A and B are shown apart, each in its own frame.
Chain A
């Protein structure tokens, strides 16, 4: 029994390290914070973590299939720009129009109210998944290396985002913003369920931040079933030995397309939340780039190998949380904002270098060249 646990831990040493690191850092953070362990702090942290955690999950799936998706930040930005048009929630709907090469095209009126918002959310998530599907098709049928293919499609998606929002703007329904970026109690009060959140049995969980609930739901309802499906297993197989996977008759092409589509969906979730949180759409190119690069860092810290085949999206969520908690510390310990980028870089370098110290134990140099 104990042996079994020990083996499990050794097999998942990366994710265990990430979870431990996060737990220790977050405990210290809450101890040092004047309002530590309160719902308000948790809510604020949840809002700051969610988008990056989603992008980290998005990046994990292609990485597991030993591809890299450099377009996750661009997909996030593009979906956010769509959301800033579709989730206004204005009573009576909002008119949509398109201006292209001087032509002015009316696209009818997008419905408002609750049904309009739900439809808008579905369209936004579908847009993200579609962008990912296109990535997958370019990689599989175009037979272009993922890293360079997604670099190119990422430019296209950023272009679409800029076309939608040349300057930051748009609006998101205030109730939606309030309901999703606060605690469960506020959510219930806004959507009028459980006696507006006043039900007796509801009180013990009312403090939990909605973003955390969403994160757990997406992980349990999307990632876990996918990982256990044939396609999910094929993604792992492709990542560890594509030739062997082919010879075993696994659906390689469908697995790769599924991996990129799921990445697009997760990135879309991140973009949707970011737009809801900021109540606007912003085609911010540096921000998109920063999110893409941080998603790669989260994946590595979360114990997924960039070579593919081993790791998990759950680990990446913790990787993203570790990255974010480090920046929370800057606020607590009053580190000069000017020094923050330096510390972020040094910590990232230290983390990956310590993880790499295993090479010193390698006896046969040939083992290094995998």
Chain B
């Protein structure tokens, strides 16, 4: 234990390095803008708040994704859960819009969970199928065109407006974050989640209803994706086709960059938070630099590999 108190713990190191990398991005981006435009927008609070407002959607999706990755599963149905929730919410409208949207996420999560936990279909393939079904339902529902219905005032208020100069979406993200942190660190559910991620058979033998916990994790992930969809529809005042496509891979990347083991059982929520901020800032610096899409993709991939090479290396299997 004495060496552990000197060096950082296994879970803290990724978080610290990712945070340092955020500083590097900020400094490098500021040097660039200063040299080219003679200004430093990256350091202005207004700009940062705006970026975080956009990042809130990714943040909420990532929070849900983390619950699923922690139990060594994955949810590929996020894109159309998000879009489906947004489309149903705008279709229903009125005071029921948000509950219906979240209900879509709950239902999708329930189906995913039952398929993965009780039918034991690999989550990779089951959630892929559910994503296709959701896409099919939404294409049939909208006729393949952009939905004509708009977001309700409450949705716009939650996603687009500001309170005391701080975007409301940020408050929602903070609320989700606090909730996830409490669940993971202070509840038996959180302990079970880590236990299942480490070894499901052991958790089962210890008396945990692992299948029920798995369903709960998928439901949480579905509801988080739906919440992000409802907010995103509010932010852009309407739902649109393919609105969730840009959230699947970045959310997995954010969780992993934050130090969560893709094989489950290890990782802290703070890391995911930092991972989201890192990706959002990287994106905004790249768009300030007018980087074409090709360069963005390359840099994006290299950053993930670099971060994982620094702290995400696995153990060598020797027995």
Contact = CB atoms under 8 A, between A and B. Distances in A.
Interface of A: 68, 138, 142-145, 147-149, 151-156, 158-163, 166, 242-243, 246-247, 252, 283, 286, 293, 296-297, 300, 306-307, 337-346, 348-349, 352-353, 355-357, 359, 365-366, 368-369
Interface stretch (B92-100, B220-228, B305-313): B305-313
B262 A162 contact: no
B252 A148 contact: yes
Given A159-B294, A159-B301, A349 B130 contact: yes
Contact of A151 (B296, B298, B304): B304
Contacts of A144: 305, 308-309, 312-314
Interface stretch (B24-32, B116-124, B158-166): B116-124
Contacts of A342: 132-133, 135-137, 139-140
Given A338-B139, A359-B119, A369-B204, A156 B130 contact: no
B132 A155 contact: no
23 contacts: A138-B305, A142-B309, A143-B315, A144-B305, A144-B308, A145-B263, A145-B312, A148-B262, A148-B308, A152-B305, A153-B305, A154-B301, A155-B249, A156-B301, A160-B298, A163-B292, A163-B295, A340-B136, A344-B136, A345-B136, A352-B121, A352-B129, A369-B204
A341 B296 CA distance: 30
Given A152-B302, A155-B301, A365-B204, A160 B294 contact: yes
Given A151-B253, A155-B304, A166 B292 contact: yes
A258 B309 CA distance: 21
A104 to B, nearest CB: 16
Contacts, number: 171
A322 to B, nearest CB: 14
Contact of A341 (B76, B139, B299, B313): B139
Interface string B189-217: 00000000001110011000010000000
Tell me what chain B mostly uses at the interface: helix, strand, loop, or mixed. helix
Nearest to A252: B317
A341 B136 contact: yes
A356 B292 CA distance: 45
B121 A353 contact: yes
Contact of A339 (B136, B199, B299, B308): B136
Contacts of A158: 297
Given A242-B317, A342-B133, A369-B201, 11 more contacts: A144-B305, A159-B293, A163-B294, A283-B294, A286-B242, A293-B76, A342-B132, A352-B126, A356-B121, A357-B119, A369-B204
Given A155-B298, A159-B294, A306-B125, A353 B115 contact: yes
A239 to B, nearest CB: 12
A220 B164 CA distance: 69
Contacts of B302: 152, 156
Nearest to A158: B297
A145 B304 CA distance: 12
Contacts of A147: 74, 262
A337 B252 CA distance: 32
Contacts of B135: 341-342, 345
B205 A151 contact: no
A346 to B, nearest CB: 6
A222 B4 CA distance: 50
A349 B205 contact: no
Nearest to A345: B132
Contact of A142 (B205, B298, B305, B315): B305
A356 B120 contact: yes
Q: Closest 10 interchain pairs by CB?
A: A342-B136, A345-B132, A159-B297, A155-B301, A159-B298, A345-B133, A162-B294, A341-B136, A156-B301, A152-B304
A300 B122 CA distance: 10
Contacts of B201: 366, 369
B128 interface: yes
Contacts of B133: 342, 345-346, 349
Nearest to A299: B125
Nearest to A348: B129
Interface centre among A154, A158, A342 (most CB of B within 10 A): A342
A148 B256 contact: yes
Contacts of B297: 155-156, 158-159, 162
Nearest to A245: B317
Nearest to A163: B294
